[in-house]
Structure 1
Amino acid sequence: MSVVLLNLASSVRILTEIFFVVLVVRIVASYLPPRGPGLWAWVAEVCERLTEPVLRPIRERVPAFGSLDLSPLLAMVLVDILGYILIRLLELAAGV
């Protein structure tokens, strides 16, 4: 059972890191928007669809700071904290 929990903790860690990469790509895409159809437009669209469910609730609760949207930064912090807590709980349950 402990092997399953440790594998689950590793999966959570990997998913957290993947989410960070997708979020960074979305941030870059907001500053370098795609010009017409192509690979970059597809990547930007996929990143937007993957991150919007996390960013939307944050954006609704936290006002923008001028023209600067702080929701991606807050999402990174929250996902990092929640991921750490979940990973640590799984490791404790596995006896590590």
Structure 2
Amino acid sequence: EEFSDAKATELKVELARLEGRKKEVHISVKEDVAKLLEKCHILLELESKQANLGGSLSRILEDLKMVKKCRRDIENMWTEAGEAANLF
């Protein structure tokens, strides 16, 4: 009976240690989940900003094409005006 009492005491001590470790692991997991949720939120914000920048870039590229076309047209008109002036 002394052996079983000693074993029971040993098991209670081990159980208390394991319960403490369980709490530590639970807290650690909660902290990790909180960090992951924060990173997910940041990632979603960055993806949204990336999409907005992509749209802005598309508009800028379209504007650049228009500017280049207008520049060519102006250069052509300038050349034609110069040629017309030489005729007089």
Q: What TM-score do you get using the length of structure 2 for normalisation?
A: 0.37
Q: What TM-score do you get using the length of structure 1 for normalisation?
A: 0.34
In our comparison, the structure showing a higher alpha carbon Rg is 2
Which has the higher relative contact order, 1 or 2, with Cα contacts under 8 A spaced 6 or more apart?
A: 1
Greater helix percent: which structure?
2
